[in-house]
């Protein structure tokens, strides 16, 4: 899968799945705009790609601020040409129920996880309409199910699936494909931050490992590989789709008793 002469924008590109996607696109020939609020991490990613002979530029962007998103994408198009690919990987996790989530937490999560994806798509779509393009939204298994105490996060990820399907239908006739990936637990800074909230972080990571039938936590590049496929012409007949990349997590019926049979 080559991306020569393609221009890709990746939000949340400084770490985790976003970073892995940035590096895969660049390795395969794309010119990549890396958008992230993490200035040190984003600059490091872009500099590493340039050092290896690729083309990448970092933009310090808070995706919750539409004007910042639009400015960065406009500059990337001026520098590299029309945008061909958008990956929305910027996201945060917060904990709480419908009663314990504050207005501030609710706004923070929805503004980044949902509005940020919309703002980026809104800025990229004009370049794609009529000439083709691909958008891949990084959702979560919690876009399809839920754990307890993750009210705002689950709502934001469920809504991201609606955003994906709506845009897929609205722009299919103009050559734009829009899909989503729903990862299970992935070895990212966000996972380790969440585990650090527990008195025994290693036990949290072990529980995450054990709940996946495949027997481990995903590496960021394993999810990024699916993102890159969906962005490529190899997936030319795929739009409005929701791909689980979860090690079998959602296939398992939780709480099922172990049944021993004799052969």
Active site residues: 153
Give yes or no for a contact between 80 and 55, defined as CB atoms under 8 angstroms apart.
Answer: yes
Phi-psi region of 11 (alpha: psi -120 to 50; beta: other; left: phi over 0): beta
DSSP 172: G
Distance CA(19)–CA(46), nearest Å, equals 10
Closest CA to 93 of 18, 208, 197: 197
* In 184-258, beta strands by DSSP E: 242-245
């Amino acid at each position: 899968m080559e991306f020569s002469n393609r221009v890709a924008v990746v939000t949340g590109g400084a770490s985790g799945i976003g970073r892995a996607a940035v590096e895969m696109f660049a390795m395969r020939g794309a010119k990549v705009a890396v958008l992230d609020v993490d200035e040190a991490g984003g600059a490091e990613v872009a500099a590493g790609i340039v050092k290896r002979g690729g083309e990448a530029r970092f933009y310090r962007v808070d995706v919750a601020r539409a004007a910042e998103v639009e400015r960065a994408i406009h500059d990337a198009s001026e520098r590299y040409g029309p945008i061909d690919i958008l990956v929305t990987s910027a996201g945060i996790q917060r904990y709480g129920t419908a009663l314990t989530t504050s207005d501030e937490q609710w706004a923070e999560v929805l503004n980044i996880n949902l509005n940020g994806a919309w703002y980026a798509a809104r800025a990229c779509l004009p370049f794609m309409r009529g000439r083709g393009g691909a958008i891949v939204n990084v959702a979560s298994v919690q876009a399809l199910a839920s754990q307890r105490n993750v009210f705002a996060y689950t709502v934001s990820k469920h809504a991201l699936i609606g955003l994906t399907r709506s845009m897929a239908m609205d722009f299919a006739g103009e050559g734009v494909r829009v899909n989503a990936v729903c990862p299970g637990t992935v070895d990212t800074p966000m996972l380790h931050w969440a585990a650090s909230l527990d008195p025994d972080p290693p036990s949290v990571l072990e529980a995450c490992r054990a709940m996946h039938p495949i027997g481990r936590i995903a590496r960021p590049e394993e999810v990024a590989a699916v993102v890159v496929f969906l962005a490529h012409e190899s997936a030319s007949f795929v739009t409005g789709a929701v791909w689980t990349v979860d090690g079998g997590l959602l296939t398992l019926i939780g709480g099922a008793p172990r049944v021993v049979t004799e052969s």
